[in-house]
Each structure stands twice: as structure tokens, then as C-alpha cells.
Amino acid sequence: MADHRRRRKAAGSRPGRVAGARAAGATPSRSGAAPANRPLDATAAEIGALERLAAGVARRWRATRRTAPIVPTPRQVADLAPRFAGPLPWHAEPMERLRSDLDALATLSRRNDSPRFWGYVSPPGTAPGIVADGLAAAINQNLTAFRSAPGASLVEIQVIEWIREIVGLPRGAYGVLTSGGSMANLAGLAAARDAAVPFDLGRRGLRGEAGRPLVLYTSEEAHHSIAKAAALLGIGRDYVRAVPVDRRLRMDAGALREAVRRDRRARLAPFAVAASAGTVTTGAVDPLRDIWRLCRRERLWLHVDACYGGFAVLAPSGRPLLRGLSLADSIALDPHKWLYAPVDAGCVLYRRPEAARRAFRVDADYTRMFGAGRLEQHAFWDYGPELSRRFRALKIWLGFKYHGAGEFARAIEADLRLARLLARKVREAPRLELLSAGDLGIVCFRYVPPGPRRPEAELERLNERLLLELQREGRVFVSNARVRGRFTLRACLVNYRTTEADLDLLVQRVQAIGRPSAPAGCAYSGDQRGTRPGV
């Protein structure tokens, strides 16, 4: 008898294991006996039953895409939350119980897949993305280095090469997939930091040879992951300059030049600029070419946070907005934003990969490579902070292969067109005020009641209430932000399901709920409806 079958037979007769309980989906508890656990080494029938269970939950989730509230109602939260506060299940639970728990989980999940979800830069995901994530778990490759996952490594190397080509970095530029944009920003700035000092910073620490603090420049509108990276890298938030922005909320290149001069005069050590290619609040793109020229003159590293906007280079009307992206020394991108991949999938690219190796390379006996070939020597850990990494590349690779890159270009172009359309509708609608029609798919606006102009504080309170009502109603979903100090509703058009009719509904609901006589909604006790931007 094969080893594997012998184990199976023995398992069936172990104490606490009820004969027949291995039938797929069977409830192991019988006749008062202690319920058995299901062995970790599942049979094909058990795997099939689990797959059917998950497929059923996903099918029901998809079927309610257009009818379910975009966020769960307070009633649903109150009813279903106790299911997720139970004790550790020491014994296997019946399949039926798992099914209803997973259905409850779906009910309590925000519908990022709804055509009317524009709250954050959280696109709906794609079919190959869903399948690839399942397959990645099935083959469970750990992408530490080529030798640990040869096929998966080839796929990731290919994906990195495709992304390099998309953003226009020269051949030889390279990088790694990360969990998301925050990690990609951290990795890019780590390489920048280590390139700025003439000694081995990894070994000697961040004292700086001449004791002069390093200074990083970014804009007032930059994502908070830049300041967080600076804190984690020992640069310190006090040494991050938030350069003022111009009328279009882009970094003011003149103000940047002045800030660098001031810091040099103060004997500080400017080392890098983190520019934005699509800010989180309005989608503004900093003047990348002007900033690059300054970086070259001042010998500063140019890192571009293109997590939000980078993939818009694929679209005809996005490409001109992103001129200069290919000049960067490092770029952070988020395939889980405008490549519509399910989370998580970020990416960092380095113009000179040796700078990344300088920051990340470590030697340990247990990671020593013996193969002589270039591929066999390849280690992803030389390009980012992580060692064990999941097979994120598969969903991106399969997405391109299945849909074609041209289809992503078409979808992004359609998003950009819808954003322009929404901006126009807002401009034309009575009682709505456009606060920013970001070129890159984000539209910020607010409700302004008729009659004499209200004070800012009153407009803020009114729009806060309106936003909460809108979200509670569950038919459309936008988030909030602040544009030039003013509270705003924010719609991120990164959703290939959205139609013009959906935008009309948004305008109509904002106008209806904003009316002073509109009834106030029910109180909400959960915290799922927090209104933090950028999530």
C-alpha cells in the first residue's frame, strides 16, 4: 500500500477521529463522541468540497454586486459581528457552518467591486487576478530567490521587465514586487539614502560621515508613506521638507530649489526628492522634468511615487501628463491600483539596480548561493526588505496574458474620460462646487447650499454630514479629503464597471441629501465607516 494511503487508513482509526468523517464535507461529530479534526493533508474530495464552498460564496457575492449596499448596514454589522468573536475552534466545524460564516464575511465586506464605488483608489480586481491568487496559494511558491521558486521567479522577472517597459525606464533597470506602495516607497528611499553616503551605511549605521543630517524633499500633497519611510529609515520626519504646491497642487519647483539652497546654507545634506505622479488627494502630477533637472544639478536622487498614477502612461490621455517619469532614479508603483489587480501588489523599480543591492544585500551562510549561472544567483532579497514573499507576480502576468495590455490601456482611458465627465457634470450642476478636477481620475467637489455664501466651517459640517449619509445609504460611495484646506467629497474613478448613469446617480444623491430639509440617517455604531483618506 502506498505510504500516503497507509497514513490515511491509520488516521481514520486514531482516537478522536470518527470513521467516515473524511467524507468530503462530513460533520465529524457523531453519537456524542468528541468531534474529530480534519487532517491537514486533505484528500482530493475534501479540497473539491472546499473549492465548491468558496466558489459558492464568490458566486453569491458577484450576484449581489449591484443590489447589495456598498457598505454593510448597521443592522447587518450588529447581527453578524458576533460570529467573528468566538473562542478558538479546537475542533473542526461543519461545512455548513463554514459556508454561513463565509457568507457573513462577504456581507460585511465593502463592495469595492461595485460600479458605484469610488471611495478610495481601490479598484474592483479582475477575474484572472482572482484565479491567479488562488493558484498562487495552491502551488505556494516562496519567492526569496530563483532557486526557491524557479518558474515563479521567471514570471516575476518578466513582470518587472514589462512594468519597466511601461514606465519607460531604460533596459537594465530592475526591481521587485512588494506588498504595496508604502513598501515600494520605503525601498526606493532606502536605496536613495544608502547611495547618498560614501560609506557602508548598512554596517556603520546612520551617523553620517560628517555628521550632517540627510534631508528629503517632497510636496505638501505627498502620501504619508513618504514621511513614514523617512522615519523608518532614520532620516527623521523633521528632515522631510513638505515643499509648497502651485495652483494645480503640484510641487512648486522654484520653492524646491529655494528649500535645497536654504538647507545647504544651514550645512544640512539634501539627498533626495520624492515627487508624486498622481497625488493621493487630487491625482496631481509634480513637474517631473523640472524636478529632475534640479536633481541633476544638485546631485539628488529622484524617487517618484507613482503608486496612484503610474500606470496611466498606458492610456493616450494619461501619457502626456506623466512626462518625465522615465527620468526617475527609482519609482514606486501599485499594480493593485490602476492595473486593477486584487491586493496585494506593489512594485519598486531602480534605474541602477546596484544601488538597491547596496542597500539590501546581506550575506548569511544559510542564504549562500552555489550555482554559477546568473539566474541561479538571482535573489529577490537583494532588491527589497522582504525575504519570504508570496507569488504576487502571477496575477499581474495572467492579467496581461489574458486581457492584453491594450485592454488595461483602454480601461484606464475610459476611467480618465469618466473623471472628466464627472467634473463637467459637477460644474454644470446647481449647488455643487468643483474643488479639483484632477487630470488623473480624481474629482473633488462639495455641496454648497443656495442663498448667501456660508462660512467654511458650516460648509464643512454640512458636507461631513452629507458624506456620512451618502455612505450609509449605500447606493454610491465617495470618500473625503481636504483641498487647499477645504473639506471635500472625493471620487476616485479607477473602476472599469462605472457608467455615465452611475455618475448621474452620484450627482443626484449628493444634491438630494445635501438639501437642508433632507432627513438625517440612522446612527451608526461601528467604525467601518471611518472617513480616512487613502485606504
Ligand X SMILES: Cc1ncc(COP(=O)(O)O)c(C=O)c1O
Give contact residues for ligand X (rule: CB under 6 A).
Answer: 121, 180-182, 223, 225, 276, 278, 280, 305, 307-308, 334, 346, 534
Instruction: Compare residues 110 and 223 and give the one whose CB is closer to ligand X.
Output: 223
Whether 170 contacts 327, CB under 8 Å: no
CB of residue 121 to ligand X, shortest distance in Å: 5
Instruction: Compare residues 295 and 307 and give the one whose CB is closer to ligand X.
Output: 307
Instruction: Compare residues 490 and 509 and give the one whose CB is closer to ligand X.
Output: 490
Query: What is the layout of strands, in order, in the sheet containing 269-276?
Result: 174-178, 346-350, 330-333, 301-305, 269-276, 214-219, 240-243
CB of residue 534 to ligand X, shortest distance in Å: 4
Instruction: Compare residues 225 and 498 and give the one whose CB is closer to ligand X.
Output: 225
Instruction: Compare residues 107 and 178 and give the one whose CB is closer to ligand X.
Output: 178
CB of residue 373 to ligand X, shortest distance in Å: 34
3-state SS, 327-360, equals HCCEEEECHHHHCCCCCCCEEEEECCHHHHHHHH
3-state helix, strand, coil in the chain (%, to 5): 45, 15, 40
CB of residue 5 to ligand X, shortest distance in Å: 46
**H-state helical runs in 474-519:** 500-514
CB of residue 178 to ligand X, shortest distance in Å: 8
Instruction: Compare residues 334 and 415 and give the one whose CB is closer to ligand X.
Output: 334
Instruction: Compare residues 143 and 189 and give the one whose CB is closer to ligand X.
Output: 189
Whether 507 contacts 426, CB under 8 Å: yes
How far are the Cα atoms of 7, 10, 17, 20, 477 from residue 3, in angstroms, in the given order? 6, 11, 19, 20, 55
Q: Which of 446, 442, 401 is nearest to 419 (CA)?
A: 442
Q: Which of 16, 11, 24, 19 is nearest to 95 (CA)?
A: 24
CB of residue 332 to ligand X, shortest distance in Å: 7
The count of other CB atoms within 10 Å of the CB of residue 104 is 19
CB of residue 180 to ligand X, shortest distance in Å: 3
Instruction: Compare residues 123 and 514 and give the one whose CB is closer to ligand X.
Output: 123
Distance CA 253, CA 381 (A): 35
Distance CA 15, CA 38 (A): 13
Q: Which three cell numbers stand for residue 80?
A: 453578524
CB of residue 276 to ligand X, shortest distance in Å: 6
Burial class (CB in 10 A: 0-12, 13-18, 19+), 511: middle
CB of residue 261 to ligand X, shortest distance in Å: 27
Q: Which three cell numbers stand for residue 372?
A: 554559477
Distance CA 406, CA 334 (A): 18
Instruction: Compare residues 346 and 399 and give the one whose CB is closer to ligand X.
Output: 346
**Which uninterrupted H or E stretch holds 273?**
strand 269-276
CB of residue 182 to ligand X, shortest distance in Å: 3
Instruction: Compare residues 334 and 386 and give the one whose CB is closer to ligand X.
Output: 334
3-state DSSP call for residue 432?
strand
